[in-house]
Amino acid sequence: MKKIYLLVIILSCFACKKEAKKDDLYPTTETAQTPEQLGQEIFDGKGNCYSCHQTNKKIIGQGIQEIAKMYKGKNGQIVSFLKEESYPIVDPAMYATMKTNFAVTKNFTDEELKALEAYILSNSK
Ligand code: HEC
């Protein structure tokens, strides 16, 4: 009987070790994320950007392909736009609608803003 208990204890220790190893893997996957991937995650997630910006057609805001094309063509800085430090160049008539989002984007870190920029620019054709 004692032997069985001992076996159970030993086995459960192995189980613990395996789980600890799995957890160790997560940070590595996180750092392997590219800026574009992080940007997409924010765009589709906490940024809520997708609700007004689709990929290739205008709904409320321009599609991000069009935004990317204009920003590349005019050498614009999406990061400074999202910090409200530069003027709109895509659709200035609709600027007031976009402006409501600066309350959100101003809370993002520079890394997050750069990631959003990288994601948007990666959509240009
Ligand atoms: C409520 C709808 C709405 C949401 C949500 C929204 N946008 Fe916009 N966005 C707009 C509209 C409308 C425009 C066009 C006005 C303009 O060009 O500034 C725009 C324009 C833009 C532009 C072009 C700016 C320029 O120079 O004209 C960028 C870049 C942009 N949005 C990024 C984002 C990002 C990133 C998010 C998420 C954090 C986001 N938007 C969320 C409506 C929205």
d(CA 67, ligand 1 centre) in Å: 9
The pTM for the full model equals: 0.81
For the Cβ of 78 lying below 6 angstroms from any atom of ligand 1, the answer is yes
pLDDT at residue number 25: 58
Ligand 1 atom with the shortest distance to the CA of 99: 18
> How many domains does the chain fold into?
2
| Structure confidence by residue, pLDDT tens digits, 50-94 | 999 999 999 999 999 999 999 999 999 999 999 999 999 999 999
Q: Looking at the structure, do residues 19 and 72 belong to the same domain, yes or no? A: no
Q: How many CB atoms lie within 10 A of CB 70?
A: 15
CATH code at position 92? 1.10.760.10
Q: Looking at the structure, do residues 49 and 101 belong to the same domain, yes or no? A: yes
Rounded distance between C-alpha atoms, residue 96 and residue 76, angstroms: 19
Q: How many CB atoms lie within 10 A of CB 49?
A: 22
Q: Looking at the structure, do residues 98 and 109 belong to the same domain, yes or no? A: yes
Q: Looking at the structure, do residues 63 and 6 belong to the same domain, yes or no? A: no
User: For the chain, how big is the Rg over CA atoms in Å?
Assistant: 23
Its domain, for residue 83, covers 33-121
Q: Looking at the structure, do residues 66 and 83 belong to the same domain, yes or no? A: yes
Rounded distance between C-alpha atoms, residue 110 and residue 94, angstroms: 25
